[in-house]
Structure 1
Amino acid sequence: MIRKIFRIFLRIIGFLFLFSILMVIVYKWVPVPFTPLMAIRYFENPEEDFRHDWVSMEEISPQLQLAVVASEDQNFLNHNGFDFDAIEKAIENNKKGKKVRGASTISQQTAKNVFLWPERSWFRKGLEVYFTFLIELFWSKERILEVYLNSIEMGKGIYGAQAAAETWFGKPATNLSVYEAAGIAAILPNPREYRANPASNYIQQRKNWIVRQMNNLGKLNFN
């Protein structure tokens, strides 16, 4: 009886393992229609307007692509999914009692947003590591950023670059200016509380900082 249960358990684990790889491979080409966070937000706030329009990378302003890399993960093009220097710094700052943002890379955030749920636990973190490894293995950096920009929360009920550009600035994502792109990137740490437009003093300061970082980084090169 125990052996039978164990075999069933192994089959379930094997099925989930193969299914996870299949999903990652499918999303290498297919647009992500929705994420677990979108579903959770919908049931938490059914009265909230839901805006999500997938667009290709060519339809997203290079300024926004650069802005999110400058604000969220400046080493994005150089690491393999995990920025160990940033993780080390975060650990040291936490030991000193400093309140700092986590060291999650864009790859980790993409893995979490597309395949997982928002929860702080070692189990969920372990799955995040696993899916981050898979998307770095099967996807290009450009694809990771494309999925990230189309899937993340950018305001209450606002998901992805196109919906954010239309909501905050009344224009498609392809036409965002430098400061508009920086405004959207500036609210990502807490998109349900911050507004990209009109910007508060704090968001304006973050915008100015992001623009300086964008100038320092220069053009993104995915090749």
Structure 2
Amino acid sequence: MRALVVWVVVGLGLLWSLAALTIVGLKWIDPPTTAVHVQRRVQAWVDGVPYRERYTFVPLSRISPNLQHAVIAAEDARFYQHHGFDWQAMEIAAEGDMDGKRLRGGSTLTQQLVKNLFFGTNRSILRKGAEASLVPVAELVLGKQRILELYLNEVELGPGIYGVEAACRSYYGTSARSVDRDEAARLAAVLPDPRRRRPQAMNRYSGIILRRMGQMGW
């Protein structure tokens, strides 16, 4: 039993090291896929349903500031102030859970990026621990602009739709560079539940996001 525990610990350590090295590589290399992409593909195969993946990686310079600002306002308003964890947002999210009025979770963009890259939608305690240990690595190695670029390109925004370029092409028939404020806010509004929400139906929440953008000087 002791030998088994040792091997498990060593194995977990190797997996963590591989993930950390992958994060280092992502400073220069755009990811061809993520754990969420693979998870959705496997789910479709198991369920026997058609699956079409749309995923186009574009540099941050080709993503409208409207879209960058809308996603930050919707998902992580203190993105440029925190170092990977926003304890204030976590507390607000916990209070929202208690009264049933939560609009978004307490996870930062960095936490969501690490989860999507390596763990998919698995909610285990083990995943949470591994995620928490990798977030500081991502913040230290990648920096805010690269984290934002990676997040905007890999995030799930609909069935088989990953990244803002593919989403803008699918929903608006235009590029991520060309969306206006309203379109950006509507797209950001689908993030809490991208497999069921659609931008055209996000009237109330997109209005909240637009107000947040204005309060943040955007």
Partner of residue 182, structure 1 = 185
Partner of residue 98, structure 1 = 100
The aligned amino acid for 1:123 is: L
Equivalent of 1:193, from 184, 193, 196? 196
Query: Structure 2 length normalisation: TM-score?
Result: 0.90
Partner of residue 155, structure 2 = 152
CA shift digits 1:58-101 (9 cap, x unpaired): 1111110000001111011000111111112233444x443423
Q: Are 1:117 and 2:151 counterparts?
A: no
Alignment partners' CA distance in 1, 2:194 and 2:5: 44
Partner of residue 170, structure 1 = 173
The aligned amino acid for 2:153 is: N
Partner of residue 210, structure 1 = 209
Q: Are 1:37 and 2:36 counterparts?
A: yes
Q: Secondary structure at the match of 1:139?
A: helix
Say if 1:181 and 1:14 are closer, same or farther in 2 by CA, change over 3 A. Answer: same
Query: Structure 1 length normalisation: TM-score?
Result: 0.88
CA RMSD of aligned residues (A): 1.9
Partner of residue 146, structure 2 = 143
Unaligned 5+ segments in structure 2 are none
CA shift digits 1:18-38 (9 cap, x unpaired): 322211100111101111111
Q: Are 1:85 and 2:88 counterparts?
A: yes
Q: Secondary structure at the match of 1:154?
A: strand
Q: Are 1:63 and 2:62 counterparts?
A: no
Q: 1:216 Cα deviation (Å)? A: 1.8
Unaligned 5+ segments in structure 1 are none
Identical pairs, percent: 38
Say if 1:204 and 1:20 are closer, same or farther in 2 by CA, change over 3 A. Answer: same
Alignment partners' CA distance in 1, 2:211 and 2:99: 28
Say if 1:93 and 1:166 are closer, same or farther in 2 by CA, change over 3 A. Answer: closer
Does the 8 A contact of 2:16 with 2:130 survive in 1?
A: no
Q: 1:10 Cα deviation (Å)? A: 5.3
Alignment partners' CA distance in 1, 2:96 and 2:158: 29
Task: Extract structure 1 runs of 4+ deviating beyond 6 A.
Answer: none
Q: 1:2 Cα deviation (Å)? A: 5.3
